[in-house]
A and B are shown apart, each in its own frame.
Chain A
Amino acid sequence: MSQTLKMDQQLDKSEVMAHEIKQSKELFRILFYRSPIGTYIIQDGCFRLVNRQLAYILGYEEDELIGRPVLSFVLPEDREAVREKAVSMLKGECSLGYEFRVINKQAKIKWVMETVVPIYYRRKRAILGSLIDVTERKQMEGRLKQMTDEMQRSNTELEQFAYVISHDLQEPLRMVSSYTQLLSKRYRNKLDDDADEFIAYAVDGAKRMQTLLHDLLEYSRVGTRGKPFSLVNCEHVVEQAMANLKIAIEECGASVSYDVLPTIMGDEGQLVRLFQNLIGNAIKFRGEEAPQVHISAQRRNNTVTFSVKDNGIGIDPEHSQSIFDIFRRLHTSEEYPGTGMGLAICKKIVERHGGHISVQSQPGQGSTFYFSVDMAGGEAE
């Protein structure tokens, strides 16, 4: 009785083992041969074992690869680097996500990303590798880089263009404006009324063009003539901006207040200009009451968001994006003088400091301008 039981047990045991072996073979087959990742073992520089996906990536049948030297599939320019990787691998180092190029059977170049670990296979040192095809991603990256480069180039060219234009137009304009002013100075009331009027228009036109060019020049200089970033105390910056606006502030009895403001990395001159434009706008577009401007700052992680709040005439939300465009004006020059460059310059300065500018406002209810700055001075290229 006990004998048969023992036999049965042994039989069961070997059946179980056979079953387990079958199962693990199946699992291995699925994991290895059906894996969507190219998987292989390399020994003595040659493929010992490869799966279907690797063969597919290289464009061969699996058995065509066995025994072939691995480096023969690598693009000649990349061979030395791949060989060095393999050498350091055999010293026990792993290599994660190394990218290089291979040549497939159809003589096409493909980018692949390989991860390899050192192993023992049949008691000899070997390399277990896995590899995926990243050609598409690489091509996209290449296109993206090309596009970024081109955009950057055209942007720089445009800035340079605006700079040269606004700079070089100053000289002939100076001639026009100086001589029309000279005419007006020497000949007013000596010619007829028409002449006086014509000269007055010419003088006025030249003056307005000067302001436009001046502001355009300043705008283009934000990108091309900026100073390197340094530590800047924003309270000093606001004080300087207020000092520059002293006359305007006193004339309309404006009050400008600010909370504790941080020290950041930035271009001090540009930050003064930024606050000066925003505070200046708050005063210029004031309502019935004396202007009140309040500046505060909030820090989150590495970003500081400043707000400049006023009690002025406000802006229709419809225009809350377009007011930052160059030469954008919402009023006639009789109502409010200006070139429409102030906020465009602000936007450019904020962007150079790695941030964004926006406004929240309703007509008649004041405006709050928000702008963020990267504290660490991550200068936008």
Chain B
Amino acid sequence: MINFIIKRLLLTIPTIFGVIFIVMLTIELVPGDPVELMLGEHATKEAVEDVRAALGLDKPLLTRYLMYLKNLTKGDMGRSIRENRLVSKEISDVWPATLKLTMAAMIIAILVGVTSGIFSAIKPNSYFDGTNRIISLFGLSMPVFWVGLVMIVVFAYWLRLLPIGGTGSFKHIVLPAVTLSLPSIAMISRMTRSSLLEVLKEDYVRTARAKGVSEKVVILKHALKNALIPIVTMSGLQLGQLMGGAILTETVFAWPGLGRLMVRAIFARDYILLQGTVLVFALAFVLINLIVDISYSFLDPRVSYK
């Protein structure tokens, strides 16, 4: 098990080197110059050259790539081009906010998604199941941006229950977390329903019922545990999605997270800052996948890593 984890962690290194190279190449190929954009319409030619030289942007792509990797091995992510700030500092400023929002949305998604999925599976094609299906379809197909604005109008403007955005108290996280969780609730709910229905057809469920085990125990202990693997896989994928999808939610609700930092970096062609943020996202994805894989062996004793 430990060997498996170490091997997986070591594999992330080439992944990350590749990710950085792709980011760098993309920024290089996209028209638009970071220094010209930074100094704006009003910069002179000399000023642009001056800054470009000071930032080392006049060097070829490969040199810059190797330089970046070299510094990275020393734990130095460089300084952002526009803000001239340590990238590690920029990220540590906003990372907790993203983590908080993603986790809150994930908890809501799992609680609501799994519960509604179970109820749908217990009585398939009932009124509840039908309603759940319609709500899920709605949650999946409505753009986050629009749902967010509707939430603001209803809960912040009409009802005056919650703030329109920003951070500070528990109240501030409610709207963004709920908005962000909607598509995931739908996915997890549908997955739980179908996976559980599948399991409920198994012989051992019939056996359990035949020997007189209560329905509650049958569902929660016998069936659900065996239905969990696809649900966990789906949740892991959703967690990654939530982090990426948070960009729009962060914008609508003025949530100071990593997504907005990344978008700013893209528009500024600030490849150093962008690499830093992509690096964090990539690492998070790798870690989530690893955790999901490890959890399989706990859920199903037949799965083992040697």
On whether the two chains bind one another, the answer is no
By a beta-carbon cutoff of 8 Å, the part of chain A in contact with chain B is none
By a beta-carbon cutoff of 8 Å, the part of chain B in contact with chain A is none
